[in-house]
Structure 1
Amino acid sequence: MVAPDSAQKEAPLLSGSQTVKSIRDTGYKGTDYALAELIDNSFQWGDANTVLLVIVQRKVQGKQRAAKRVDEIWVIDDGGGMTDEALNLALSFGGSGRYDDRSGIGRFGMGLPQASVSQCKRTDVWTWRRSQPENASHTYLDLQEVEDSAKKVALTVPWPTAPSSPDYVALPDWALDVFKEHAVPDTSMGQPVYSGTAIRWTNLDKLRWVRAETMFTHTEYLLGRVYRNFLTSDTRPRSIKVAVMEGDTLGGPDGFQDVRPNDPLYLHPVPATTLEYWEAAAEVDGDRYIRVTDEQPFVEHYGSRDFVIQRPDGKGTSAVHARLSLAKPQARPGRNPGKDTHQGRHARDNSGISVMRADRELVLEKTLAQEATDRWWGVEIAFDPSLDEIFGVTNNKQDAPYLTQALRLAREHHLTKDEAIDEGLFDEQHPIAELYDMAYQLVVLVNQMKLEGKNEKQAATRARGAQPAVTSVASNVKKTRAAVSPTPGEADYSKNKPDPGKAAETIEQKLEEQDVPAEIRGAIIANYQRGVTVQVIDRPVKQAPAFFWPDEALNLEFLCINNAHPAYESLIGPLRVSNEAIEEMSEDEAKRLLVQSADAMTWLLLAWARFENEHRTSPLLGKIQEIREGWGRRLAEYVEDQAFKAASLFDGEDETQDGESSA
């Protein structure tokens, strides 16, 4: 490097107070997320068992009237405390000696100062090790002092002071009392001693909520979700306790409430979580719902998956574990459960993919949660910090942008990884390339759950007999015909015998070429993988004159019914009625439905008859009649096969054979 001459002056790398002002706006989503950063320090670096969060509220005079406002926020833990050197570094940006430690939830060295200045102008920190909290060392970060001194001296964090210093700021008595009430002392040396840290935020100018009760509600909701694995650990459960303090009065140590876990997959017992209760469908004074307080979770587990990802440090691979859940029908009572029920409103704020890093939620990713009904499925993916660069983890631990991009590309383009690279959506060296296969499969899985849980009727299909968007109509006729007169797809399948994964990929590609929506494709593939090889699909194609059309992909046959055709609502719509709706019909309504069904069948035959009559003098007549007779023979085979299966079922035999299901 060439040294500057006397006329040159190099600019400082950091511009003092302006840098701190910029950091204030670098982005915590809210006060709750900033508090989570402090709790990370308590659990990882402090190894705390208990964290106390105290929200101090005082009456403040506004322009028009006096009102209660949050005036201070305290975070107190019973962790290991810090040395004076560590305390001094803790308030400097990037000064942590733990930078790039991959052993836990922290790593970046920015948490305490960055989170603090995002909410307030003054941060005080006390810490003590194997001593009494009265002997704590103290230091602080005051943004007003930073601004006043920036032009005069280099910016530094004040060296910690001890109680003997004339400048020492002592912990208030109430803080000493609540700490000793909740901390477990070390009595190994005879006299009880303690370790811990206390952080106070004052001059609060960037809070998301200014009323203590509102802050408590929203903070519990987020902290309960972020730290749910810590709060429910079987080996070492941790606790976060919150108290609202009015002025200088704390309602005694018993004024603390435990933060309850908030499980976005709803697999924990309901009364022990922030959900508290779920509502069952029951009429009370009209159309309201009663509270049900039993411990039955309102979702059923939908399975789990492991995805293997290459580590960026070249040290092999690391597994990303995914869990999935889907709401049970009884969790969604009423016509509009998302709007009208307690669990619907709760689940709305928990919708998306919960991304867990080192047992702590990083972000609730919303890319696949686009509709109101997306609150009824849940996905959790968990990875360890060795994959931080692959996920693009931000230094405030609020986002995983590379995962977001991979999910968005998979959702919008429906391409395999190789196809996406060929299209130039990303480079094979980009971290997205490592995440894309997982993202693609997550999109498929979520689409399957969306299809099943689109509304209460679809979620309860098996229990209530409602028609789904994809119907399986398996029959022994297919097996017989495949051996006697195979279709081109069946012949191709028999000749090449592709493995199940390759066959499913080929079928999905064919369905995509036919513009079958992703959620329908997901359901078809799921059915195919269960052995169903005849499926009926409702497809709206307004410009098509055909009421239906057949197609195939390998050994999968599918019949598309055009539900945008003018005849659909008259012919098929009335027949797609759930058992529940039928039970509610009067006798006259049921009779009308039967008559309409018989008329619908007649209209279908009349349409064919008219078509054939129009070709009475055409040379095509013979071929048309031949097609009609061939179709009649196939119809007879299917009807006879269904009659045989019904008789077998009446005799006690199983309805399904060889992995195929009958509609």
Structure 2
Amino acid sequence: MGDRVTSEGNSYRIVSPSLTVKAMRDSGYKNTAYALAELIDNSIDANAKLVEVFACESPVQVASRTSHRVETIAVLDNGDGMDAEALRRALKFGDGRGDDRKRIGRFGMGLPNSSMSQCTKLEVWSWTNGPGNAMYTYLDLAEINNGRDDVPAPELDPLPEYWRDLSDGLGSSGTLVVWSDLDRVNWHGAAATLRNTSDIIGRVYRHYLDAGSVDIRMAPVRDGAVIEGQYYAAPNDPLYLMASSQTPEPFDEQPMFEPFNMGSEDEPGVAYFPITVDGQQHRIKVTASIARPEARRPDVEDRPWPESAKATKDAGSQLWGKHARHNIGISLIRQGRELDLDSSWAIGYDPVERWWGIEIDFPPALDDVFGVTNNKQTATIFSSLAHFDWKSEAEADETFKAFKDRLADLGDPRLELIDLALYLETKLLPAIRRQLRQQTVGNRKTKKRHDDVNAKATDAVKRRSEDGHTGKTDDLAEGASPEDKRQEQFNALTQRHHLDEDTAESLVNEALENDWRVRWISSYQDSHAFFSVDLMAGMLQVIFNEKHPLHAHLLAVLEEVPEDATPDELRHRLDRAADTFKLLLFSWARMEDEIPNDRKREKIADARQDWGRYARDFIDGEDDGE
């Protein structure tokens, strides 16, 4: 059987104290803000109405000047507090209050793990009958490294006056957690620490903050007093549907996004996915949002950009656009609290990604299905399904059902989420991206270039018409009133090509005011053609098919250029567009090559000749002599 006797002093411990210390320190928290979130979780679970976060700084000499550095971080709440037994258990790794799925923090790891990831000493006071009756205990990494393996028994120790004086809402019950000997805090000064923390705290707890169920006070401290710069955390909503939020003006008091066109009148922008686990059915709630037109365009009637906006820059370069750039991805919500903002679902190089939001709200019972980690930093199984392509994993001639049956036989943990992932990847996100690209048709960034092209093409159309080369658009314009033209164009843009009404109205007004006879838009077309044509009264409308690969390889490369693109990136885009244009002409040549008889091939060649003459007339403005 072997010798199973062990002792504290022998050299055959399964885990050494030094390894325990390293594991506690390297527990995977992204930064100080996420570690602090674990403490706020505990406060909310304890029914706190006020959570106060203090960053206490002290002067340090840096070269020839005096600076300030945070030396202590504390979280104080007015929740239920803990008795001595609960307090001692709370500092025990892997115990806490056990696997209680009704709590935000379920694993009993949050308080010690998060604290020791940032500091070398953790102190906790907790009271249920006045702060004068607080119980106190602590963890010290130096003691643990020297062999200590039990949590010190809590002792009666009234809450120090220092913290009582700093508090704005000290309760008859509550808890104070203090981190000292900070050696892994990401930021130096108190203001910087809280500023970088509040964005994440505001996003993680946005639903609690928006509902008013908890307030989170962010307070910088110097010389034992709260200094200028304290504030209460505001919601940071990556879906931008909350009326009051951290978003810069003009969207600090009004939503910047709107629900995406799905769901019901009672729940716009919402869809539900049922999942059955161990015979019990659960619902996953999917909420989707998309930027309002006025967030991306300065010319929406009655909703202009503020005077403080940079007039020569596009929406992504405005303060609200820069804010949205930091909130890209799918937000995972568990028990009302954001688990992760998973950016792996976004197309990293595409600036349009900042203008949509998706939230996945799931119950704690689905933690294992999503792959929730102990420190609540991510959901590994869900993240692994970003850009999932089942066909690349399927066996030869395997159907989707057969593929899923095989995964079930193999016990693949991804199985329960595959339908959700495919819905997001192949239906919802493509539909959102199509609408977003339509929003900025004729936006300010490309407006001057488009205006010049429209004017030049309109001149060519008018010149040919005056020379007797009339088309159907000319015939339809005979007898059509301006209002008839307006309504026909508006209906085509909104009903046939699904542009939003504000964008459509702007385009129609612009065309009528300038007497333009042409318009270029992009739209999703269920066709193999890379472009199509609408012939309307006085308007020749060309629609570039977003479904066709040419759109992504040519138009998107040339027009959807980030403001901060480097010269190398611009050169790469031009090279890619040039190669695509050559392939486009080669495809035409091969089409002619494969025509089965000479007569049809001659007709195609004649069409090529005719198109060349029209192209010369439009590009050079010369009469072809017909």
* TM-score normalized with structure 1 length: 0.62
For 2:437 and 2:57, the matched residues in 1 are separated by 44
Question: Deviation at 1:171?
Answer: 3.1
SS of aligned partner of 2:388: helix
User: Is contact 1:128–1:195 with CA below 8 Å preserved after alignment?
Assistant: yes
Question: Deviation at 1:219?
Answer: 1.0
Q: Which residue is 1:448 aligned to?
A: 431
Q: Which residue is 1:389 aligned to?
A: 368
1:86-110 CA-partner distances (Å, limit 9, x unpaired): 11111111121x2221112111011
For 1:70 and 1:362, the matched residues in 2 are separated by 27
Q: Which residue is 2:386 aligned to?
A: 407
Q: Given residue 145 of structure 1, which amino acid in structure 2 is its aligned partner?
A: E
For 2:353 and 2:102, the matched residues in 1 are separated by 34
Question: Deviation at 1:211?
Answer: 1.6
1:329 to 293, 296, 301: 293
Q: Which residue is 1:512 aligned to?
A: none
User: Any residues of structure 2 matched to 1:540-559 within 5 Å, and which?
Assistant: none
Q: Which residue is 2:345 aligned to?
A: 368
For 1:338 and 1:425, the matched residues in 2 are separated by 44
Q: Is 1:121 matched with 2:120?
A: yes
Question: Deviation at 1:421?
Answer: 3.5
Question: Deviation at 1:62?
Answer: 4.2
Change (3 A) 1:10 1:68: closer
1:574-607 CA-partner distances (Å, limit 9, x unpaired): 9x9xxxxxxxxxxxxxxxxxxxxxxxxxxx9xx9
Question: Deviation at 1:296?
Answer: 3.4
Q: Is 1:301 matched with 2:280?
A: no
SS of aligned partner of 2:93: coil
Question: Deviation at 1:140?
Answer: 0.7
For 2:606 and 2:76, the matched residues in 1 are separated by 82
Q: Which residue is 1:101 aligned to?
A: 100
Change (3 A) 1:559 1:226: closer
SS of aligned partner of 2:433: helix
SS of aligned partner of 2:164: helix
- Percentage of pairs with the same residue: 35
Question: Deviation at 1:160?
Answer: 0.8
1:470-507 CA-partner distances (Å, limit 9, x unpaired): xxxxxxxxxxxxxxxxxxxxxxxxxxxxxxxxxxxxxx
Matched pairs, number = 462
Q: Which residue is 2:205 aligned to?
A: 227
Change (3 A) 1:458 1:421: farther
User: Any residues of structure 2 matched to 1:635-650 within 5 Å, and which?
Assistant: none
Q: Which residue is 2:455 aligned to?
A: none
User: Is contact 2:296–2:440 with CA below 8 Å preserved after alignment?
Assistant: no
For 1:403 and 1:203, the matched residues in 2 are separated by 37
Change (3 A) 1:410 1:308: farther
Q: Which residue is 1:273 aligned to?
A: 245
SS of aligned partner of 1:37: helix
Change (3 A) 1:33 1:560: closer
State the superposition RMSD in angstroms: 4.2
Change (3 A) 1:410 1:625: closer
Q: Which residue is 2:13 aligned to?
A: 12
For 1:359 and 1:140, the matched residues in 2 are separated by 30
For 1:382 and 1:431, the matched residues in 2 are separated by 19
SS of aligned partner of 1:407: coil
User: Is contact 1:56–1:72 with CA below 8 Å preserved after alignment?
Assistant: yes
For 1:58 and 1:564, the matched residues in 2 are separated by 54
Q: Given residue 182 of structure 1, which amino acid in structure 2 is its aligned partner?
A: G
1:126-152 CA-partner distances (Å, limit 9, x unpaired): 0000x22122111111112222x32xx
For 2:149 and 2:422, the matched residues in 1 are separated by 49
Q: Which residue is 2:520 aligned to?
A: none
Q: Which residue is 2:139 aligned to?
A: 141
User: Any residues of structure 2 matched to 1:532-611 within 5 Å, and which?
Assistant: 536-537=529-530
SS of aligned partner of 1:109: coil
Q: Is 1:319 matched with 2:283?
A: yes
Q: Which residue is 2:74 aligned to?
A: 74
User: Any residues of structure 2 matched to 1:349-360 within 5 Å, and which?
Assistant: 349-360=326-337
For 1:217 and 1:341, the matched residues in 2 are separated by 20
Q: Given residue 52 of structure 2, which amino acid in structure 1 is its aligned partner?
A: L
User: Is contact 1:227–1:360 with CA below 8 Å preserved after alignment?
Assistant: yes
Q: Given residue 27 of structure 1, which amino acid in structure 2 is its aligned partner?
A: G
1:69-90 CA-partner distances (Å, limit 9, x unpaired): 0111110000111010111111
Q: Given residue 156 of structure 1, which amino acid in structure 2 is its aligned partner?
A: D
1:173 to 147, 161, 174: 161
User: Is contact 1:228–1:263 with CA below 8 Å preserved after alignment?
Assistant: yes
For 2:233 and 2:25, the matched residues in 1 are separated by 28
For 1:174 and 1:237, the matched residues in 2 are separated by 27
User: Is contact 2:248–2:319 with CA below 8 Å preserved after alignment?
Assistant: no
For 1:111 and 1:241, the matched residues in 2 are separated by 21
Question: Deviation at 1:343?
Answer: 0.8
Q: Which residue is 2:457 aligned to?
A: none
1:259 to 208, 233, 238: 233
Q: Is 1:310 matched with 2:292?
A: no
* TM-score normalized with structure 2 length: 0.65
Change (3 A) 1:198 1:412: farther
Larger Rg: 1
Question: Deviation at 1:424?
Answer: 8.1
Q: Which residue is 1:157 aligned to?
A: 151
Q: Is 1:421 matched with 2:400?
A: no
Change (3 A) 1:443 1:625: closer
SS of aligned partner of 1:202: strand
1:184-212 CA-partner distances (Å, limit 9, x unpaired): x5xxxxxxxx1000011110000011121
Question: Deviation at 1:340?
Answer: 1.9
Query: Structure 1 stretches of 5 or more lacking a match?
Result: 164-169, 186-193, 279-291, 467-522, 528-532, 540-556, 577-603, 630-663
User: Is contact 1:338–1:348 with CA below 8 Å preserved after alignment?
Assistant: no
Question: Deviation at 1:561?
Answer: 9.5
For 2:547 and 2:208, the matched residues in 1 are separated by 51
Question: Deviation at 1:410?
Answer: 3.8
Q: Which residue is 1:239 aligned to?
A: 215
Q: Which residue is 1:475 aligned to?
A: none
User: Any residues of structure 2 matched to 1:211-222 within 5 Å, and which?
Assistant: 211-222=189-200
1:35-54 CA-partner distances (Å, limit 9, x unpaired): 0000000101x111110111
Q: Which residue is 2:486 aligned to?
A: none
Q: Given residue 537 of structure 1, which amino acid in structure 2 is its aligned partner?
A: F
Change (3 A) 1:277 1:156: same
Question: Deviation at 1:411?
Answer: 9.3
For 2:386 and 2:402, the matched residues in 1 are separated by 12
User: Is contact 2:95–2:107 with CA below 8 Å preserved after alignment?
Assistant: no
SS of aligned partner of 1:113: helix
Q: Given residue 42 of structure 2, which amino acid in structure 1 is its aligned partner?
A: N
SS of aligned partner of 2:86: helix
For 1:625 and 1:6, the matched residues in 2 are separated by 93
Q: Given residue 360 of structure 1, which amino acid in structure 2 is its aligned partner?
A: R
Change (3 A) 1:374 1:64: same
Q: Which residue is 2:617 aligned to?
A: none
Change (3 A) 1:80 1:401: same
Q: Is 1:346 matched with 2:317?
A: no
